[in-house]
Amino acid sequence: MGYLRSAVQAVSRASSGPLSGIATPEKWVVDWITGSVANSSGVRVDQDTARMYSPFFAGVRVISEDLGGLPLFLYERLRRGKRRATAHQLYSLLHDQPNDMMSSVQMRDTLQGHAMTWGNGVAQLITHERTGVIEEIWPLRPDRLQIKVKRTGAGKLQRWYIYDDDVNGIHARLAAHEVLHIAGHGFDGVRGYPIVDLAANSIGLGLATEHHGAKFFSNGSAPGGALSHPGNLSPEARKRMADDWENIHKGIDRAHRVAIFEEGVTWQQVGIPNDSAQFLETRKLQITEMARWLRLPPHKIGDLERATFSNIEQQQLDYVSSALNIWLVRWEQAILTQLLLPEERATYFAEHLVDALLRGDTMSRYQAYAIGRNWGWLSANDVREKENENPVAGGDAYLVPLNMVPAGSGTQDDEERAVARRYARLLRGRGIIARERIAESWAPKIVEADQEIADLEAERVGALIEDHLEDTPRAVRSVTLFVSALSLLYAEDGPIARAMSALWLPIFTSFAADVAEDAAAEVGYEEDVDLSVWARTYVAGHVAYRMATSFGQLRKQAEQAETLTDAATAVAERLVKWQAERPEQTARWETAQLPNAAARETWKDAGVKTVQWVARGSENCPYCKKLDGAEREIETPFVAKGEEIDGDEDGEKLVAKRNTFHPPVHAGCLCQVVPVVSD
């Protein structure tokens, strides 16, 4: 599960109930000890007490729940329009379930509440240790979080998030790329103002008014007063008279009882009656005041005094376009800048679907649909989708008035498509040569990166040889210990794998981008193709394969040797061989495989259905000759795993070790795959 994920889950569990102690006292404990009061009303106001004030709680709740309840989609930009990017790893996290304890609604509702109450809603991003892909999103408790800005150089600042939870023993220092931060309106562009602190006087006055009303009713719905006596009373008599009076009249159940005064005792009212103090008007004004703080129409928090049937719809539209919209934009831009990679931002974006909140009455909606349908920008199925109805056959046609032509039936589009097809046919014969030239330009960079990896392996494995195989003063000699240490070194999340991923990822991502651009032109596909996510997966798979094979070869050399000295020599010789030969071998293999793989991914996006195997540089290779000219559907392998390829009559059969969707089929194979584009 990993430390960070465990820590965040502990935070989530700790959030289920307030925990206070000497190590982490809640704010009300500190305020009670110090006697601090943050506002003029004399009522303590903090994030906990503010939630007890119904206008504030209602305002925070309505924005948080409305935002959390809106569908949040990740979209992919097209040349014209957009489509939902359901294949992207962030789609399900944002739309469905960000972690195994929360739904998307719960997570967004919680973070939005934090952002409004505390000024900042912060969630930790749990990423895969090897690929860096975001796997989970966990909200952090704002009362245990500090946001720091550190100067790292002239004009350079860096955000840090310090999380301290002494109760659960969680202490984390998170960098900006490890969190999703939703900040409200603030003063420094990093942290938002806590509305509770700014509105402390307004909230305090509201709480004080509620407290006054409660005390008023608990006192028999009458203001306080005094009992006066013409003479002097002893302390015992004074106490007995006060106790008797309270026993008769204090409490709502004892109101309106008859009092009998003795020995000249009279009652005098003290304080201002509620009607004179404008009690009800004050409570109404505080609702309006809280709506002003939260930028809400008063009717959203229950004040319907000025709401009418004629203006309630306009007030709803004003709420969506003002109070709610700025929070939607903050979420969408935070996702764009904090969750998406820099190279993904031109292609992907997040957006809330607010149609449900903007829908008018049935008559207004149908009139709008009729206009869109009659003028050709809505189809019958577009309308049905907006009304949450299933599509109907033939409902995708777009129509315009009869004095015009049906939308999309003109000849201009057909001519443009024909030109694109002719251009694609011209490029089709040049695609193989273009990809070979692209591969040649990237080969030196692959050699350089793999040489660095081979040198690192020689250094790190050489240290293990000294520790466990050579006769040195500090050595604990044992093949078993050597193999155990070697397995950690070549683990999928070990130092060799991390170094290889860091070196290969930028090279292979740029390499694939060059291939994708040429492959798209080869089939006349004009939209941008982003293979950055695919390149991550490609690199991860190749790194895992290299770790497994390298560990297996070194383990075999050590375990098959008769003595420890022989084992040390055999392993060292294999490392020297890798340094001398493997970088060039890696470059040959990757410059043959990656162009075909990246081109195939591009053609899949372009809608190509069939590809063809073209043998090149294989005049003496019987296996490649057998495949030359073969056509397959793009999702069907040319050779299935375990399938045999016949060679010459006296030649051996080649058994495929994997599903082969594209060349190479064996080491040294220079074949290419090309698209089959119909006219």
Distance CA(540)–CA(519), nearest Å, equals: 23
Burial 24-39 (b: 16+ CB within 10 A, else e): beeeeeebeeeeeebb
The pLDDT, as a whole number, for residue 661 is 86
Contacts of residue 258, Cβ cutoff 8 Å, sequence gap at least 6: none
Give the chain's largest Cα–Cα span.
Answer: 134
Query: Whole-angstrom Cα distance, residue 614 to residue 598?
Result: 16
Contact criterion met (CB below 8 Å) for 322 and 314? no
List of residues 6+ apart from 442 with CB closer than 8 A: 507, 510, 511, 514, 591
Token pair in block for residue 202:
């307004």
Q: Which residue has the higher pLDDT, 638 or 350?
A: 350
Instruction: Count CB-CB contacts under 10 A for residue 381.
Output: 17
Q: What is the DSSP letter of 75?
A: E
- In angstroms, the CA 175 to CA 190 distance is 14
Among 12-26, 134-148, 535-549, name the one with the lowest average pLDDT.
12-26
Helix (H, G, I), strand (E, B) or coil at 104: helix
% of the chain at pLDDT higher than 70: 73
pLDDT of residue 582: 92
Three-class DSSP category at 359 = coil
Choose between 664 and 273: higher pLDDT. 664
What's at 214, amino acid-wise?
A
Q: Is the pLDDT of residue 89 over 50?
A: yes
Report pLDDT for 281.
63
Average the pLDDT over each of 67-76, 100-109, 150-159, 271-280 and give the range with the smallest value. 271-280
Greater model confidence, 219 or 646: 646
Range name among 151-160, 178-187, 503-512, 580-589 with the lowest pLDDT average: 151-160
- Do the Cβ atoms of 586 and 446 come closer than 8 Å? yes
Q: What is the pLDDT of residues 178-234, one digit of tens each?
A: 999 999 998 888 888 888 888 888 887 777 776 666 665 555 545 455 666 666 666
CA distance 623 to 65: 63
d(CA 661, CA 35): 74
The predicted structure's pLDDT at residue 347 = 92
Using alpha carbons, select from 643, 671, 637, 673 the residue that is nearest to residue 657.
Answer: 643
What is the structure's pLDDT at 58? 86
157 pairs with which residues across the strands? 151
Closest CA to 117 of 165, 48, 176: 48
Element containing residue 156 per DSSP (H, E): strand 156-165
Q: Is 181 helix (H, G, I), strand (E, B) or coil?
A: strand
- Check whether 370 has a pLDDT greater than 60: yes
pLDDT value at position 227?
60
> What is the rounded distance in angstroms from the CA atom of residue 515 to the CA atom of residue 321?
44
pLDDT number for residue 230 = 65
Mean pLDDT for all residues in the chain:
78
Q: Is the pLDDT of residue 573 over 50?
A: yes
Gyration radius of the chain over CA positions: 37
